[in-house]
């Protein structure tokens, strides 16, 4: 069993290097097998096809990224309300998400470059599929802090929430480094804050009429 797992890990290591160097379409299982020192049959003993190998390579990073985003939602709920009123889009641990992406940059880059040719073509949509429930969690916190007096449409809030997080992926896709990406995320926080505060003010003005 130990030897089988060691073989799988070697296949994954060589597979990642091959996908990075040649791209998904030009990466062939026979070449991966040869470089990994195993037979093509050995690869098929672990993976039914190239797509399955690619998915096994990047899925742990996707699940880890989902976990980081989920942690942000949980930590956001315990932010001091006075601080939150000063900055409604304050995301205390957003740097952790950026760090996670850059700590797994090979896998994230593979997703950006090759996922559209695999069964993970909708990975970004899947990553943010819980956007509505997350947005509703933010909205509850905003109401608790007195930033909002009424609910916004959950779909609208989902778009705001997802766009904030997707900006990290967008910065990576454009080749920005870790430091620059963090700077952009901070700027986007200010941008979203201004928009949200204007919407909240408009909401309250409408209630007064």
78/168 same-domain check:
yes
23/70 same-domain check:
no
58/114 same-domain check:
yes
36: domain CATH number? 1.10.10.60
pLDDT in tens, the chain (209 residues): 568 889 999 999 999 999 999 999 999 999 999 999 999 999 999 999 999 999 999 999 999 988 887 787 777 778 888 877 777 666 555 788 899 999 999 999 999 999 999 999 999 888 776 555 666 777 788 788 877 777 777 677 777 777 777 888 888 889 999 999 988 888 887 777 677 777 777 766 766 54
Structural domain harbouring 34: 1-48
What HEC string does the chain produce? CHHHHHHHHHHHHHHHHHHHHHCCCCCCHHHHHHHHCCCHHHHHCCCCCHHHHHHHHHHHHHHHHHHHHHHHHHHHCCCCHHHHHHCCCCCCCHHHHHHHHHHCHHHHHHHHHHHHHCCCCCHHHHHCCCHHHHHHHHHHHHHHCCCCCCCCCHHHHHHHHHHHHHHHHHHHHCCCCHHHHHHHHHHHHHHHHHHHHHHHHHHHHHHHC
92/120 same-domain check:
yes
pLDDT digits (tens, 9 = 90+) for 48-86: 999 999 999 999 999 998 888 778 777 777 888 887 777
Total number of domains constituting the chain: 2
117/71 same-domain check:
yes
Tell me the pTM.
0.80
101/195 same-domain check:
yes
82/152 same-domain check:
yes
């Amino acid at each position: 069993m130990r030897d089988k797992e060691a073989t799988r890990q070697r296949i994954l290591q060589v597979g990642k290097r091959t996908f990075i160097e040649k791209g998904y379409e030009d990466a062939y299982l026979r070449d991966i097998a040869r470089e990994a020192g195993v037979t093509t049959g050995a690869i098929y003993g672990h993976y039914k096809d190239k797509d399955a190998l690619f998915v096994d390579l990047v899925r742990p990073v996707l699940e880890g990224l989902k976990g980081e985003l989920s942690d942000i939602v949980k930590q956001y709920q315990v932010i001091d309300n006075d601080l939150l009123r000063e900055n409604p889009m304050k995301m205390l641990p957003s740097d952790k998400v950026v760090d996670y992406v850059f700590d797994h940059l090979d896998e994230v880059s593979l997703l950006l470059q090759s996922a559209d040719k695999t069964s993970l073509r909708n990975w970004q949509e899947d990553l943010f599929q819980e956007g509505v429930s997350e947005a509703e969690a933010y909205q509850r916190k905003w109401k608790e802090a007195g930033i909002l007096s009424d609910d916004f449409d959950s779909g609208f809030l989902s778009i705001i929430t997802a766009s904030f997080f997707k900006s990290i992926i967008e910065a990576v896709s454009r080749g920005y480094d870790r430091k620059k990406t963090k700077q952009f995320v901070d700027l986007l926080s200010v941008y979203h804050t201004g928009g949200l505060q204007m919407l909240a003010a408009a909401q309250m003005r409408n209630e007064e009429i």
